[in-house]
Amino acid sequence: MTIHFRWFGESDPIPLTHVRQIPGIRGVVAALGDIPVGQAWPQDRIQHLRRGIEAAGLKLEVIESVNVHEDIKLGNPSRDGLIENYKITLRRLAEAGVQVVCYNFMPVFDWFRTDLAHPLPDGSNALYYDASVMADLTPAALVRKVADQSRGLAMPGWEPERLAALDSLMQSYQGVDAEALFANLRYFLEAVIPVCEQVGIKMALHPDDPPWPLFGLPRIVTHQANLDRILDLVDSPAHGLTLCSGSLGANPANDIPALVRRYGSRGRIHFAHVRNILRFPDGSFHETSHLSSDGSLDLYEILKAYHDVGYRGPVRPDHGRMIWGETGRPGYGLYDRALGIAYLNGLWEALEKG
Ligand code: DNO
């Protein structure tokens, strides 16, 4: 596996010079987060991003995310033009040397927490999903909460323009059920996967986080039966998964090492997000350090599964705690994610030499 670190561009409080010093690092996972979703990414902006990263001694091989416009998820007539723009972006990314594009197919909301700075007993804080808080929360209240807690930094998937039209967006999903979402995902894939095959890009669909429906919105990238069905929608090696241990792992019924073996052995995992969470019986969970004994997931077993299937693709740590007084984008500080990488490196070296 190759080690990467998510970096939010020049506005990221973490400089590339710091990222470069993480042991074993190969590259950063980045995006043009300011380009409105649905527009083709400008060639010069992509090349500028790549040059800056390479000048820091790092690679840009993975993009997270090229977001999918809601009209595509809704199956609205305007989707064809939006998909054409998506294809242009994919071609331009391939020209810049990008190999993997991460995206998701979650209606309206991307990942979802009720608290971005939940205090932990060791004095750190972490992202928290409190099932009891969710029960009383409206979508608008949730958006306000996330905005209030994000320290003025745009949270990925919570970009203000995406959520500006929240009410009408929620309305437009009335009558869009899981079946419709499957059909709209198929339509999207049938259009973009041939382009990916041509230019050598691998699409890596991120699971829904958390992996269950929210506010009556359908969510389909949730568990094995659906993942099987999704991968069968278009049978191409260019159509695969971002296997995110923490997203799928929020549901205790999802056996992460088994999923890694199942899809990894078929060459359908193109990107690995490896992190830990601590689950509670009522469905609540929070992020922890990456260490197996701190959370509900066994990171050794997860990495062993990747090792056993011969996974050679990119991996990144994810959603660290905020430690050592660091302030920054919740979930995306430097210190705990760097510790996560050191731990993943250690496990991997032991597996390699084992
Ligand atoms: C949150 C991330 C997600 C992820 C997207 C992929 O921190 O894991 O926003 O990047 O769902 O498209």
47, pLDDT greater than 80: yes
Instruction: Summarize pLDDT for 242-260 with one digit per residue, the tens.
Output: 999 999 999 999 999 999 9
Q: Give Cα separations from 306 to 147, 337, 347 (angstroms).
A: 36, 20, 11
Report whether pLDDT(163) > 80: no
Average pLDDT over residues 74-96: 98
Could you write out the DSSP letters of every residue in 118-154? EE-TTS-EEEEE-HHHHHH--HHHHHHHHHHHTTTSP
Which pLDDT does position 308 carry in this prediction? 98
Residue 23 has pLDDT above 90, yes or no: yes
Kindly report the average pLDDT of the chain as a whole number: 96
The CA distance from 267 to 244, in Å, is 16
At 107 the pLDDT is: 95
| Distance separating alpha carbons of residues 258 and 206, to the nearest angstrom | 17
pLDDT digits (tens, 9 = 90+) for 63-81: 999 999 999 999 999 999 9
Q: Are 92 and 40 in contact (CB under 8 A)?
A: yes
Residue 113: burial class (beta carbons within 10 Å; 0-12, 13-18, 19+): buried
Site to substitute for ligand 1 among 65, 72, 109, 116, most atoms within 8 A of C-beta: 65
Q: Is the CB of 110 under 6 A from ligand 1?
A: yes
Is any ligand 1 atom within 6 A of the Cβ of residue 61? no
Tokens of 95: 């020209």
- Predicted confidence at residue 331, as pLDDT, reads 96
Helix (H, G, I), strand (E, B) or coil at 5: strand
Decide whether any atom of ligand 1 lies within 6 Å of the 210 Cβ: no
Question: Ligand 1 mean position to 46 CA, how many Å?
Answer: 20
Domain count of the chain?
1
Domain span including residue 73: 2-353
Res 161 pLDDT > 90: no
Rounded CA separation 311/235 (Å):
20
How close is the Cα of 110 to the center of ligand 1, in Å? Answer: 7
| Inter-residue contact 305 to 262 (CB < 8 Å) | no
* Helices (H), ranges, the chain: 16-19, 43-55, 70-74, 79-95, 131-136, 139-149, 160-164, 166-172, 178-199, 224-233, 245-249, 256-264, 299-308, 335-353
pLDDT on residue 150:
83
State residue 267's pLDDT score: 98
Is the predicted pLDDT of residue 166 greater than 90, yes or no? no
- CA 39 to ligand 1 centroid distance, Å: 19
Q: What is the mean pLDDT of residues 112-116?
A: 92
DSSP letter, residue 234 = S
For the ranges 5-19, 152-166, 330-344, the lowest mean pLDDT is seen at: 152-166
For the chain, give the percent of residues with pLDDT over 70: 100
Which of 201, 234, 233, 192 has the alpha carbon at shortest distance from 84? 192
72: left (phi over 0), alpha (psi -120 to 50) or beta: alpha
330: Cβ below 6 Å to ligand 1?
A: no
For residues 263-280, average pLDDT = 98
What's 212's domain CATH number? 3.20.20.150
Q: What is the reported pLDDT for 46?
A: 98
Between residues 152 and 326, which one has the greater pLDDT?
326
Q: Is 112 in the pocket of ligand 1 (CB under 6 A)?
A: no
Is the CB of residue 156 below 6 angstroms from any atom belonging to ligand 1?
yes
Residues for the chain: how many in total? 354
Whether residue 346 has pLDDT greater than 80: yes
Active site residue ranges: 206, 244, 273, 318-319, 332
Q: How many CB atoms lie within 10 A of CB 168?
A: 8
SS3 2: strand
Cα separation, 125 vs 121, in Å, equals 9
∠ CA 254-268-37, nearest 5°, is 90
The answer to whether residue 140 scores a pLDDT higher than 90 is: no
Tell me: pLDDT of 159 over 80.
no
Taking the whole predicted model, whether its pTM rises above 0.85 is answered as yes
